[in-house]
Amino acid sequence: MEPVWEWFRWLYDAHGIKLTIFFDEWDRGRFLNGIWTTIHLSFVAILLSIAVGIVGAWLQMSYLVWVRRIVEGYIQFFRNTPPLIQLYFFYFAVDSALSDSFGITGGVMGSYGWAVVSLSFFAGAFNVEIFRAGVEAVPRSTIEAADSLGYTRLQVYRYVTLPLAFRVCLPALNNNLINLVKTTTVAYAIAVPETLYISNQIWSDEYNVFEMMNVVWVVYIVLVGCLVWFMYRWEASIRIPGYGQ
Amino acid sequence: MLRKLLSVGVVTAAFAGGTALPASADTLANIIDRGKIVVGVKADYAPWGMRDADGNLVGMEHDMIADFARRLGESAGTPIAVEKIVVVASNRMQFLEQGQIDMFIATMSNKPDRREVVGIVQPDYYSSGVAVLAHKDSGIDGWASLEGMTICGIQGAWYNKDHGLKNGAEVVAFKGVPEVEQALLDGRCVGWIYDDSAFIPRKVNEPEKWMDYEIATPTVDDVPWGAAVRLEDVDQPIGKALSAAIIDWHESGLLIELEAKWGIPPTQWLVDMREKCLADDPICNDVYDEGE
């Protein structure tokens, strides 16, 4: 790899394009760590937010009015507040309150932990509504048919409603998950060392704002591009001929 | 429309010229004529400039200003009163340019772009730099001890890397000072890398809140502080008188005494400057040289 790094050093010497993330080992190391942090933060938040969405949509169909109200309250709380404010709220307010009541110093969770919680709940609130739209699109007669075959309510949801609903709501889910990956950048406000945070540090140290802005832009295009490609592949692979399309 | 805009511009320019007029006269002669000097001071930067419990403006810089007025009075043979105008970082240079004040001593770093706007007299009178404020149980004592420590910082500060990361610390950087304070007091980090002159007011103003925190490293990368007169006054009698006073403050050790009086931790910079001034080092003359 050494010739590649040297080429970038030449690029700087010859043309003043200062991409220290290639030829400076220190910057390269922390930048790769930043991208890696973005990837696993996104991955964990995606999985948890989908889980929240599935459970939330199930609870929304509950016979118990209070369960439905609690889910509704959760959706309103997380959908109607900006993610940055939620992050600050969890990290500085909720964590302090929990630490005080349990007598813990140094915080209940680190910045990464709170970013996962906050982003998962944020995207999860949208996912509940997305899955609900899918669930409601499943024909009543299909559910009655499953019912008459002796399925329990959970079994109907698990084996009939959800698989069909999933196919209906995948395009909307794609949108939300793409947004989630982009929203991970707000985690830099609570010092999660993800791509934007590290880039900010690098351009402050090296005065290469212009170069790093372009690098950040390319990184997110590639990351989100990979997610979109994967989601399209998944959508195509679970397609039921004649259903939906 | 264009003509109207132009005429507004001419009127504004006339006004600006009008208010700047007093600057062109001999400022020192004016001060002696009216028997008072109008000085820009800080009230928000304890203990350099602050209000005491009775609301009076006090602090290290206020003592320096009182001493300067006494000197002016002695050489003029008539007492000179001090009228203080409270300034903040964002308006001190404008107040001076517009003639609302004759000079200021207001915790200002001596930076090249500022020397183009106001007349920063030489030599500088104080200096601040980068240090770490740490919890007393953190085990931080000196820069080398940062290895493996989690310390807080401000996003974008150049010294996070040079003095934090390169010393082996993990720097957790936030957007602003309030977030850092919260994180530090919550115990999310054991120290805070920042400007040392920002730590001292916290210790002075809120001793209980910062009881467990001490400045745990020597100060590095000093930036000196300068007193200022109007740009055209820097080589006039007022500028020269202020320079002479600052040189004498260094030589007599007054600045070191005031530092101790106001509870500011001793700065090596002042000790070094005193030695240089006593040895007639050119850094201690009234002219700014490249690289000073």
Q: How do the domains of chain A map onto residue ranges? A: 2-237
Counting Cβ atoms within 10 Å, is residue B157 exposed (0-12), middle (13-18) or buried (19+)? buried
Q: Does A100 touch chain B (CB under 8 A)?
A: no
What is residue A244's predicted lDDT score, i.e. its pLDDT? 56
Q: Does A96 touch chain B (CB under 8 A)?
A: yes
Q: For B171, name the nearest residue in chain A, comparing CA atoms only.
A: A191
Residues of A in Cβ contact (< 8 Å) with B187: 105-107
Per the CB < 8 A criterion, the answer to whether B201 and B162 are in contact is: no
Query: Is A190 in Cβ contact with B161 (below 8 Å)?
Result: no
Per the CB < 8 A criterion, the answer to whether B150 and B174 are in contact is: no
Quote the minimal CA–CA distance from A206 to chain B in Å.
Answer: 9
Residues of B in Cβ contact (< 8 Å) with A189: 174-175
Which of A204, A206, A209 has the most B C-beta neighbours within 10 Å, making it the best mutation to test the interface with B? A204
Q: Is the pLDDT of residue A225 over 90?
A: yes
Quote the minimal CA–CA distance from B197 to chain A in Å.
Answer: 22
Query: Is B175 in Cβ contact with A204 (below 8 Å)?
Result: no
Half-sphere exposure of B219 (CA within 13 A, CB side): 22
Tell the residue number behind the tokens 């007011």, with chain if given: B201
Per the CB < 8 A criterion, the answer to whether B182 and B143 are in contact is: no
What is residue A136's predicted lDDT score, i.e. its pLDDT? 92
Q: For A193, name the nearest residue in chain B, comparing CA atoms only.
A: B172
Query: Is A190 in Cβ contact with B174 (below 8 Å)?
Result: yes
Count CB pairs under 8 A between chains A and B: 44
Query: Is B161 in Cβ contact with A205 (below 8 Å)?
Result: yes
For A186, the token pair is 């707000």
What is residue A36's predicted lDDT score, i.e. its pLDDT? 97
Q: For B165, name the nearest residue in chain A, comparing CA atoms only.
A: A26
Query: Is A191 in Cβ contact with B158 (below 8 Å)?
Result: no
Quote the minimal CA–CA distance from A191 to chain B in Å.
Answer: 6
Tell me the pTM: 0.70
Give the C-alpha distances (Å, rounded to integers) separating B212 from B134, B136, B171, B192, B208: 8, 6, 20, 13, 8
Q: For A112, name the nearest residue in chain B, comparing CA atoms only.
A: B172
Query: Is A189 in Cβ contact with B173 (below 8 Å)?
Result: no
Which of A91, A109, A114 has the most B C-beta neighbours within 10 Å, making it the best mutation to test the interface with B? A91
Please name the member of B156, B186, B188 whose beta carbon is closest to the beta carbon of A204. Answer: B156
> Facing residues of B134 across strands?
B191, B214
Report DSSP state, residue A156. Answer: I
Query: Is B173 in Cβ contact with A99 (below 8 Å)?
Result: no
Query: Is A197 in Cβ contact with B186 (below 8 Å)?
Result: no
Query: Is A111 in Cβ contact with B172 (below 8 Å)?
Result: yes
Residues of A in Cβ contact (< 8 Å) with B177: none
What is residue A239's predicted lDDT score, i.e. its pLDDT? 85
**What superfamily in CATH does domain A2-237 come from?**
MetI-like (1.10.3720.10)
Taking residue B206's Cβ as centre, other Cβ atoms within 10 Å add up to 11
Half-sphere exposure of B234 (CA within 13 A, CB side): 19
d(CA A234, CA A177): 14
Confidence label for B22 from pLDDT (cuts 50, 70 and 90) = very low
| Count, residues in chain A | 245
Domains annotated for chain B, with CATH where assigned, are: 16-125+226-284 (3.40.190.10), 128-222 (3.40.190.10)
Confidence label for B261 from pLDDT (cuts 50, 70 and 90) = very high
Please state the rounded mean pLDDT for residues B87-91: 86
Write b or e for each residue in A184-221: b if 16 or more Cβ atoms lie within 10 A of its Cβ, otherwise e.
bbbbbbbbbbbbbbbbbbbbbbbebeebbeebbeebbe
Q: For A95, name the nearest residue in chain B, comparing CA atoms only.
A: B186
Query: Is A99 in Cβ contact with B186 (below 8 Å)?
Result: yes
Residues of B in Cβ contact (< 8 Å) with A197: 155, 173
Which of B150, B152, B186, B190 has the most A C-beta neighbours within 10 Å, making it the best mutation to test the interface with A? B186
Q: For residue range B164-220, what is the model confidence (pLDDT) as tens digits? A: 888 999 999 988 888 899 899 988 899 999 988 888 878 877 889 999 999 999 888
Q: For residue range B105-136, what is the model confidence (pLDDT) as tens digits? A: 998 988 888 888 899 999 999 998 899 999 99
Q: For residue range B51-60, what is the model confidence (pLDDT) as tens digits? A: 888 999 999 9
Reduced to 3 states, what is the DSSP secondary structure of residue B252?
helix
Query: Is B157 in Cβ contact with A204 (below 8 Å)?
Result: yes
Q: For residue range A179-221, what is the model confidence (pLDDT) as tens digits? A: 999 999 999 999 999 999 999 888 888 878 889 999 999 999 9
Quote the minimal CA–CA distance from A110 to chain B in Å.
Answer: 8
Q: For residue range A79-98, what is the model confidence (pLDDT) as tens digits? A: 999 999 999 999 999 998 99
d(CA B109, CA B129): 10
| Cα B125–Cα B129–Cα B131 angle in degrees, nearest 5 | 140
Please name the member of B155, B172, B179 whose beta carbon is closest to the beta carbon of A200. Answer: B155
Q: Is the pLDDT of residue B7 over 70?
A: no
Q: Give me the torsion for CA of B79, B85, B89, B95, rounded to 10°.
A: -90
